[in-house]
Structure 1
């Protein structure tokens, strides 16, 4: 952290910058995918805060492809943007992108998902472990200890998937839930449908499904309806579609993140770094459980 503070302070002194951005100040946001409402909302929050603070903001979509992500980062280092906010496609694979940013001497911030290796000035994200446990505890409240559950996991290798799974595992152990199967569906609605169909076929007496994001939860909902079953489904993220499904009684609950706030805080932390101000290494964003 001190490394970034010294670098930012020196930059501020050399260019005569203040906390208010100059017309030439450009920040960048590299998003894992914009084919997901959560990340679209995150992007919109970043755009709003950048406009408020007078920064230009470049947004690049990695389309869930680590190779494209690395190419996006390389492009931004050539453009010499002031700071880069990265929402990784894969926490392990993104380490190469992080190191590239570090070598370019550009402050790096991570949003929602972290990177396994690399020098990160600040990580802005929800407490995914707490959220996963919140989902498991809710299932227990509704169905009692020992309930039979399935889990749809996110993209393997992402910190969000690992942490949400870790929190859910804590709830499974504490509440003696029977985890019948757990399988990745890559945070994708269509994959969530297909994986849930397969899991339902082999686990006919399942009582609940925890999906590590709302897109997979909505896919699971289609699968459950198609199978003619009554299964409690809990999602994660609190997207507009997810919340609407909860309010209609289609999903049992969603663990709501605040993607707009994550995006806004990312820009705010970047601005503070460039102004030579101290920032926290981890900036937690509150979660809440949304039920009908």
Structure 2
């Protein structure tokens, strides 16, 4: 993938050089209070530096109204393209449609939009990731036990898809019960509070699946405080640095790894391709066929 990305960057950069293209791209992120999206931003900025384009970053602060305002500002600035990581997949539709009306192309990254015209969506397969987590939880529990699911922000495609995949995997094990499913908004502090409340109501928990690592890490703090770290297995999603450290320390059972840096890079590269050559280049590996 890295080799293909380098080749793609070279090709579109060469095209841009020939046509003298320079672009301004808006990057609207759901929040910069989460290391995952900080890494995504860093990947975008690195790609932009290599391509000689300007990326203007806006922090939505997990507030759909704030994000809408940020994108309206991008539209007023007449940017060439807007990359959006939605705070809420439904609420972002208005912003996408405003960009559409202004003739500004839109790419979504990590989380999709429920409407409006988007030229590309760059994301992991969140359903498959949720299934991966569910199968691992089932393996850890030997197919039997009580499980808590901490959900992300309601209305985001990531929360919906990860929950769908996890539920599909767990449904194959009749002796595993999801005894609590509560929203903690992808937030570490909320993960802590929600898990504390769940443990007070039902301390007989065997495993936790959190839709992201921030919530998983908050849950671990609550589990530690209850003296149940040796009993309850926690699985997160994103593989941020703190979560990987927790896995290595034996505090978290696992985390599903994504590649936010690469997501950010690809978002800018695909934006640049579209602006430069009017399409999005999707490379497919070649094979050499010989008689031997």
Common topology (TM > 0.5): yes
**Does residue 1:128 correspond to 2:126, yes or no?**
yes
Q: Match for residue 113 of structure 2?
A: 115
- Identify the residue that residue 33 of structure 1 maps to in structure 2: 31
- Residue 140 of structure 1 aligns with which residue? 138
Counterpart for residue 200 of structure 1: 199
Post-superposition offset of 1:23: 7.2
Partner of 2:243: 242
Q: Does 1:89 align with 2:90?
A: no
Q: CA deviation at 1:22?
A: 4.9
1:60-75 equivalences in 2 (<5 Å): 60-75=58-73
Consecutive aligned runs of 4 or more in structure 1 exceeding 2 Å deviation: 17-24, 276-281
Report if the CA contact (8 A) 1:273-1:279 is conserved: yes
Give distance in 2, aligned partners of 1:257 and 1:200.
Answer: 29
Deviation at 1:272, TM superposition (A): 1.1
Q: d(CA) in 1 for partners of 2:226 and 2:238? A: 25
Structure 1 unmatched ranges of 5 or more? 1-16, 282-292
Counterparts of 1:22 and 1:35 in 2: how far apart (Å)? 37
In 2, Cα distance between equivalents of 1:117 and 1:280 = 24
Q: Where does residue 232 of structure 1 map in the other structure?
A: 233
Structure 1 pair 279–25 and aligned structure 2 pair: CA distance change class (3 A): closer
Given candidates 13, 16, 19, the residue that maps to 1:19 is 16
**Secondary structure, in 3 states, of the residue corresponding to 1:109?**
strand
Partner of 2:262: 261
Aligned equivalents of 2:186, 2:273: Cα separation in 1:
32
Aligned to 2:190: 191
How many equivalent pairs are there?
A: 265
Structure 2: segments with no counterpart, 5+ residues: 1-13, 283-292
What is the TM-score of this pair, normalised by structure 2? 0.88
Q: Name the SS of the counterpart of 2:277 in structure 1.
A: coil
Q: What is the TM-score with the length of structure 1 in the denominator?
A: 0.88
Structure 2 counterpart SS, 1:279: coil
Q: 1:279 corresponds to which residue? A: 280
1:175 is displaced (CA, Å) by: 2.4
Note if contact 1:122-1:280 (Cα within 8 Å) is conserved in structure 2: no
Tell me how far 1:186 sits from its aligned partner.
0.3
- Is residue 149–residue 182 contact of structure 2 (8 Å, CA) maintained in 1? yes
Q: Does structure 1 retain, via aligned residues, the 8 Å contact 2:150–2:215?
A: yes
Deviates more, 1:169-178 or 1:132-141: 169-178
- 8 Å contact 2:273–2:281 — kept in the other structure? no
Q: Distance in 1 between matches of 2:132 and 2:70?
A: 35
1:237-272 Cα shifts (integer Å, max 9, x gaps): 010111111111110000011000110000011011
Offset, 1:35: 0.4
Q: Is the 8 A contact 2:43 2:265 kept in 1?
A: yes
